[in-house]
């Protein structure tokens, strides 16, 4: 029988070892973010006999903190029971030596989460646990399904009883295990068989880590929208959204999971399965992983993200040169591209803005005035480096434009003579339905504006975006296959919504990524 350990009750926000209620659902909280775009979750899994897997998972989640800062959790098994600990907050807020002490075992999964539909509640924290079979299973999800309503209807699930697409998947797996006899067979592969049945029904973006009492399983959708990689320990295996999570636990990078692949890890080693029809498999890694989401020390498509971002800056300098006194980044994600721009253009590189690392990414901003205040809390100018200078300011993207508009005003107030904004990606015009928090076209500044109109709104002297062909070339993997839907409107998977509608947020996806 599985034991579930949760970090808090539905009221108390402080995780303590003494509080171990059953998982429950909290109250939805509506938030406006200071940041322009948010990714939706990091996943981690480890199978390592005689190793402190809970502590390895804790370390791995640290390396994936940038992918989700609203909640964190892990599930651990000793081969008999599954223990789950999760709570709202950063990894360091959720876990401590006291509440991790019961988490003994040799296999584990972990999860860091961003909500992508404004719902930030304890009930949506992951991993999700279900209890069919001898020990049940746990699931962590990075991505967003686009056929959730269809899946719920087919499964007879009532609206309002499920709060996330991850919950829908867990429900389908539970039903499949029970229909198959839940544990009546002696091979212990109930979860594996259920996945082979359920996965072909899913449409959208999903990188899963799952576990029962004997297996850790990684799954990547047929398009490979979100990254997932495999690493090797001396006596075990690791799955992670990004390669730095392998580095931090001392695992050697083996490979990225292929789009449409399922990797099963157990006492015998690893097995690779392919649940999806061949015609569905078409690599479409989210291009924004290279632009913004992934850590600069990550490797995607065998390319280092930091080097790719520097090449984006070099391409920008070639495409849109300008006379200036200093090239400066918008920290932190604009730094590599600014370095590349400065190197190619010969204009000196310098820092003009300091980022407050402690404001976090959940600043509640109910009005535009508060959003602007939030930007000032996040960024502050270095006046001595700015006054009297013509600046090239390099950023990775413009989504809502809140940050850039307030930043341009700050730079002028600090004495900048000219502000030339350079963006290391094309205009962001279309909402993402594959795991990023841009569900409405009405929120996207460039959706219906020309580049000149965006420039006028932001208040900069000139504005230029990196052309798509140049961006693809800068990745070093132009022919590998990318999703560019947010820039081109070319969606690899049909979404059940009319893209011309101003009410895209009404799409019935429930809350993506748990």
**What residues are annotated to the active site?**
41
Strands (E), 48-126: 71-77, 82-88, 107-113
For residues 124-147, one letter each, b for 16 or more C-beta atoms within 10 angstroms of the residue's C-beta and e for the rest, the string is bbbbbbbebbbbbbbbbbbbbbbb
Q: Which residue has the tokens 């959706």?
A: 447
Q: In what order do the strands lie in the sheet with 216-220?
A: 128-130, 137-145, 204-211, 216-220, 262-266, 269-273
Closest CA relative to residue 509, chosen from 149, 97, 26, 95 = 149
Closest CA relative to residue 94, chosen from 126, 116, 66 = 126
The whole-angstrom separation of Cα 420 and Cα 404 is: 12
Name residues whose C-beta falls within 8 Å of residue 129's C-beta, 6 or more positions apart in sequence: 2, 4, 23, 75, 82, 84, 136, 137, 138, 139
Closest CA relative to residue 109, chosen from 75, 70, 149, 159 = 75
**In whole angstroms, how far apart are CA 480 and each of 224, 473, 477, 483?**
11, 11, 5, 11
**In whole angstroms, how far apart are CA 2 and each of 19, 74, 80, 138, 189?**
17, 14, 8, 10, 17
The whole-angstrom separation of Cα 112 and Cα 125 is: 8
Residue by residue, what is the 3-state secondary structure of 449-477? CCHHHHHHHHCCCEEEECCHHHHHHHHCC
At 129, give phi and psi (nearest 5°): -120, 140
Kind of pairing, strands 462-465 and 418-423?
Answer: parallel
Please return the burial class of 415, using the count of CB atoms within 10 Å of its CB with bins 0-12, 13-18 and 19+.
middle
The whole-angstrom separation of Cα 175 and Cα 182 is: 9
**In whole angstroms, how far apart are CA 314 and each of 82, 396, 398?**
50, 13, 19
CA 181 to chain centre: 35
User: Helix axis angle, 305-319 relative to 335-345, nearest 10°?
Assistant: 50
Closest CA relative to residue 125, chosen from 137, 140, 135 = 140
- Please list the residues that pair with 128 across neighbouring strands: 139
Within 10 angstroms of residue 492's Cβ, the number of other Cβ atoms is 17
């Amino acid at each position: 029988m599985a034991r579930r350990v949760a970090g808090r009750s539905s009221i108390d926000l402080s995780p303590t070892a003494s509080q171990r209620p059953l998982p429950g659902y909290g109250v939805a909280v509506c938030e406006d973010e200071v940041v322009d775009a948010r990714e939706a979750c990091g996943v981690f899994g480890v199978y390592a006999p005689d190793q402190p897997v809970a502590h390895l998972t804790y370390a791995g989640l640290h390396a994936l903190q940038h992918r989700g800062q609203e909640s964190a959790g892990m599930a651990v098994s000793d081969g008999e029971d599954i223990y789950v600990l999760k709570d709202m907050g950063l990894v360091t807020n959720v876990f401590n030596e006291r509440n991790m002490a019961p988490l003994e075992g040799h296999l584990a999964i972990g999860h860091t989460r961003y909500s992508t539909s404004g719902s930030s509640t304890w009930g949506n924290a992951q991993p999700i646990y279900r209890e069919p079979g001898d020990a049940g299973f746990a699931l962590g999800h990075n991505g967003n399904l686009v056929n959730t309503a269809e899946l719920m209807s087919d499964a007879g699930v009532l609206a309002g009883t499920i709060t996330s697409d991850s919950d829908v998947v867990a429900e389908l797996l539970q039903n499949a295990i029970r229909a198959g006899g839940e544990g009546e067979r002696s091979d212990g592969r109930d979860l594996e068989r259920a996945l082979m049945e359920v996965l072909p029904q899913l449409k959208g973006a999903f990188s899963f880590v799952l576990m029962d009492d004997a297996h850790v399983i990684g799954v990547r959708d047929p398009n490979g929208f979100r990254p997932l990689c495999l690493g090797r320990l001396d006596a075990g295996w690791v799955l992670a959204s990004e390669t730095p999570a392998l580095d931090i636990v001392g695992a050697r990078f083996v490979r990225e999971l292929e789009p449409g692949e399922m990797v099963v890890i157990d006492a015998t080693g690893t097995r690779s399965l392919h649940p999806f029809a061949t015609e569905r498999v078409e690599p479409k890694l989210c291009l924004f992983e290279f632009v913004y989401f992934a850590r600069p020390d990550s490797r995607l498509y065998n390319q280092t993200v930091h080097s790719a971002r520097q090449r984006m800056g070099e391409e920008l300098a070639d495409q849109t040169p300008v006379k200036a006194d200093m090239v400066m980044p918008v920290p932190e994600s604009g730094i590599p591209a600014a370095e590349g721009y400065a190197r190619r253009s010969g204009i000196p590189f310098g820092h003009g803005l300091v980022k407050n690392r402690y404001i976090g990414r959940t600043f509640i901003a109910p009005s535009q005035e508060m959003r602007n205040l939030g930007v000032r809390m996040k960024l502050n100018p270095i006046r001595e480096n700015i006054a009297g200078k013509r600046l090239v300011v390099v950023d990775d993207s413009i989504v809502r434009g809140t940050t850039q508009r307030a930043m341009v005003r700050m730079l002028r107030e600090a004495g900048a003579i000219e502000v030339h904004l350079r963006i290391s990606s094309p205009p962001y015009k279309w909402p993402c339905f594959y795991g990023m928090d841009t569900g409405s076209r009405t929120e996207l500044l460039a959706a219906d504006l020309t580049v000149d109109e965006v420039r006028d709104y932001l208040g900069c002297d000139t504005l230029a975006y990196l052309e798509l062909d140049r961006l693809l070339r800068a990745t070093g993997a132009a022919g590998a296959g990318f999703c560019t839907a947010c820039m081109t409107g070319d969606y690899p998977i049909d979404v059940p919504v009319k893209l011309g509608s101003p009410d895209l947020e009404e799409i019935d996806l429930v809350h993506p990524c748990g």
